[in-house]
Every structure is written in C-alpha cells, then in structure tokens.
Structure 1
C-alpha cells in the first residue's frame, strides 16, 4: 500500500483498501487509514473517506492518548485533523474546517519541534 501511495496510484490503492478494510484488525486499520483516506479523496469517494478519517486522531489537544511509550495529543501525522478539514470543506462547513486546520497546524508544529530535538 505504501508503494501505491508513493506512486500516486490512487485507484489501485483505493480498491485495495476497500478490499482489506473490513477484515483488517484495528491496528492495521489505524496504519491504513491515512493512505486509504488520501486514495478515497483523490477518487472523490467522500463517504469512504469519512470512514477512514474517523479512525484517525482529530488533533484535539484536550484529549491525551497513549501512543507507544509516550502520551500525546496528536497522532504523530497531523493527518487526521487535516483530512477532517478537507471533508468539512467539501460539505461546505467552513467554520468547522477552519478549526481542524488550526488543529492540524498545532500538531504539525509539535511534530516539527520533536524532529529538531
């Protein structure tokens, strides 16, 4: 799947994700979700994208999550908040989308600081 995403082969990736999503374990779904959401987005499959995005961290700083050995408020990718913003823009909910863009920015800033240390 990573290779298909890197090669921008959205249709193939989208079909593969649909095929394996239902039978995949929770951990596998969490790993698939960002790629699957991007593929669905590029194929214009908004309902499918919504399903994948629902598995991702929403970037809410008030919620702490345990991720491996660390407690974090972001999923390490900032993609959950960003992809939610995309869905909300498509639905014409611009004020809500702006909130998720802000969350994605905060998560991304946190990720960048961690990389610089």
Structure 2
C-alpha cells in the first residue's frame, strides 16, 4: 500500500466514524427535544446524503416559548450538548408563520427532512 492509499484509508475511516456520530447525534437530538417542541427538521448537506468530515447538522426547531431568540438558542444548545457541529434556527409557530414565505425558508421547507412533529408518530 502506498502512502496516498494509506492516507485515503485513514480519511475514509474517519469519515465513516463521523457519519455514524452525525446519525447518533440526530437520534439524541430527537430524544432530547421530543415533547418539548412542536417540530424538528434537518436541512442542508446531511439530508442530501453528502456527509463528510466538515458536515454539520442544520436544524430548524419550532416551539412555543416566551424566551427571546438568542436566549432560546442558547438554551437549546445547552440542552442538546451534541458531539458534532450544529447550526440551530428556532422560531415560535407565529414567527415561523411570518417567515416561511421568505426565499431562505422556502428553500429549507422544500428540502428539509422532518425528524419530529408533535402529535405525529
């Protein structure tokens, strides 16, 4: 085995391990948020099946809360405490209703994968 092949094998093994860590993180995320939020979905590169060593989890959370935007984000990051990079957007149902027609949110809604929705199995 030459040096390039050895490097490739190490990188591929790490990619596989990280992909598994991403999958496990999604399961933890749903378990920790279930019953506390209205809806959780994922968007971005992970649901497009393009995970690599630079992949993070892009999460959209809809929940009832009185907390200001930044405080609720901080609370969720603290609650989740996941071992992978996560970008979280968290809106109340009313906020999301106002925002969902904006291009950015239309893109998310077209490509998202819903992980949890209150009242659905």
- Name the one with the larger strand percent: 2
Give the alignment's TM-score, normalised by structure 2: 0.25
Structure showing greater radius of gyration is 2
Structure with bigger RCO (C-alpha 8 Å, 6+ apart): 2
